[in-house]
Amino acid sequence: MITVGIDPGAKGGIVALHNGNVLDKYVMPVNPDGTINNKMLASYIVSFTSHCDDVRFGLESVHSLFGMSAKSNFSFGMNFQACISALDIVGASWEFIQPKVWQKEIFGDMDVVLNKKGKKDTKTMSIKRAQELYPDADLTPTERAKKPSDGICDALCIAEYLRRIK
């Protein structure tokens, strides 16, 4: 079975796991205007389904956040819907996964990391856990990048969550 995690943000990612190994990873394909490139996203989804008949996709179920501008909320919603549309058009079997649900399972016994404002820093925790679970995986968004992408790490954690709950 292949499990694929999708973090639908403009700086999100897509990661596929197969037999406990990272099969492939992509940064979310984005057009110059900041919207998701549906054609590229659909081709990524098709590439995963070409490896195996048993593929489960998990899309992080996101919502607008307090304090976001109307423009940001609209863009955020468009990108989220682009992921849903690409999965549906390709005919992939997928499910929504709430962030708190996958984070509870994946973060488990981790020490909580706090940001400068004293709130739980889930981006840092996601990167740290992804590196612990898959130390050999390249979690950077590009070949030249030195730091891991929280979008790719979130997607990896979502895929790992799916793998665990199969």
For residue 32, the enclosing domain spans 2-165
pLDDT level of residue 76 (50, 70, 90 thresholds): confident
Q: How many domains does the chain have?
A: 1
How far apart are the C-alpha atoms of 99 and 97, rounded to whole Å? 6
Q: State percent of the chain over pLDDT 90.
A: 81
- Of 57-71, 102-116, 141-155, the range with the lowest mean pLDDT is 57-71
| Contact by Cβ (8 Å): 27, 154 | no
- Of 6-10, 37-41, 42-46, 70-74, the range with the lowest mean pLDDT is 70-74
The token pair at 85 is 């549309």
pLDDT at residue number 71: 83
- Of 27-31, 47-51, 54-58, 112-116, the range with the lowest mean pLDDT is 47-51
CATH at residue 12 = 3.30.420.10
